[in-house]
Amino acid sequence: MARYFSCLVLTFLCLALAAQAQDPFGTFKQFSATMVMIGVPVGGMKIYRSGNKVRVSVAGDAGYSIADLDHHATYTVMNNGMCTQGVLQANMAPFAFDKASAIQRSPVGTDTVDGHPCKVEMMTVTPKTGQPTKMKVWEADDLKGFPVKVEIESSHGPMAVEYKDVSFSEPPASLFTHPANCRQTPTAHTAPR
């Protein structure tokens, strides 16, 4: 369950940042925020970005996940010391490594989210390979266009997330480390039957 929420969080991060440019992570190379998934009773999760590394706290503060976008790797570190390493799959973060995604935007107005005046847009992001994703994005005028709210239709139904307490200060490098003893997560080809 914790891994599911971590993957979901990384997906939302990628979707939200895809709103900013053809290079989904091009605009916001460093930030931290509290991410609140609307309608999911897990509370706020801290999210950090530094360069091409993203860290998200696991639901219930049970640990954290790191995505290394350069190496397409994920590391999930639980508080009990267990660490697993996996491959950042396209369905986990569809825009993390497809810089050729086509983005169609259409403005739908303005709104205020958590006190931030926002430009609201409907977007369709179509990766070079894969299915298009449709979303509604609230981009905060006072936070350089940071997407403070994103609604998306997913295979699990409609989902929404809000980003609060956004800071553009560089997070400490120590947040993006993982234990050396991470076990490789079995892939579909090597998983026991």
What's the domain count of the chain? 1
Q: Is residue 84 part of a domain?
A: yes
Q: Is residue 121 part of a domain?
A: yes
Question: How many Cβ atoms from other residues are within 10 Å of residue 135's Cβ?
Answer: 22
Please identify which residue in the block is written with the tokens 């259409």: 106
The whole-angstrom separation of Cα 153 and Cα 110 is 21
The whole-angstrom separation of Cα 185 and Cα 85 is 6
The whole-angstrom separation of Cα 85 and Cα 82 is 10
Q: What is the CATH number of the domain that holds 59?
A: 2.50.20.30
pTM for the model: 0.78
Q: Is residue 186 part of a domain?
A: no
91 has a pLDDT exceeding 70 = no
Take residue 98 and report the two structure tokens written for it: 């497809």
Q: Is 46 within 8 Å of 32 (Cβ atoms)? A: yes
* pLDDT tens by residue, 140-189: 999 988 889 988 877 777 888 899 999 999 999 999 998 888 888 765 44
The whole-angstrom separation of Cα 92 and Cα 8 is 7
103 has a pLDDT exceeding 60 = yes
The whole-angstrom separation of Cα 138 and Cα 119 is 6
The whole-angstrom separation of Cα 60 and Cα 12 is 18
77 has a pLDDT exceeding 80 = yes
Q: Is residue 193 part of a domain?
A: no
Most confident of 69-73, 127-131, 161-165, 178-182: 161-165
Q: Is residue 158 part of a domain?
A: yes
Local confidence band at 86 (pLDDT 50, 70, 90 cut-offs):
confident
* pLDDT tens by residue, 115-126: 999 999 998 877
Q: Is residue 53 part of a domain?
A: yes
Q: Is residue 191 part of a domain?
A: no
Output the CA angle 127-130-135, nearest 5 degrees: 60
Q: Is residue 147 part of a domain?
A: yes
The whole-angstrom separation of Cα 156 and Cα 91 is 13
Q: Which own/partner contact pairs does 102-106 have at CB distance under 8 Å and 24+ positions apart? A: 102/126, 103/18, 103/19, 103/22
Of residues 60 and 64, more confidence is placed in 64
Amino acid at 40: V
* pLDDT tens by residue, 10-59: 555 554 444 444 433 357 889 999 988 887 766 788 989 898 888 988 76
DSSP H or E run through 5: helix 2-18
Q: Which of 38, 15, 17 is nearest to 26 (CA)?
A: 17
Q: Whole domain around residue 48: which residue ranges? A: 2-180
Local confidence band at 129 (pLDDT 50, 70, 90 cut-offs):
confident
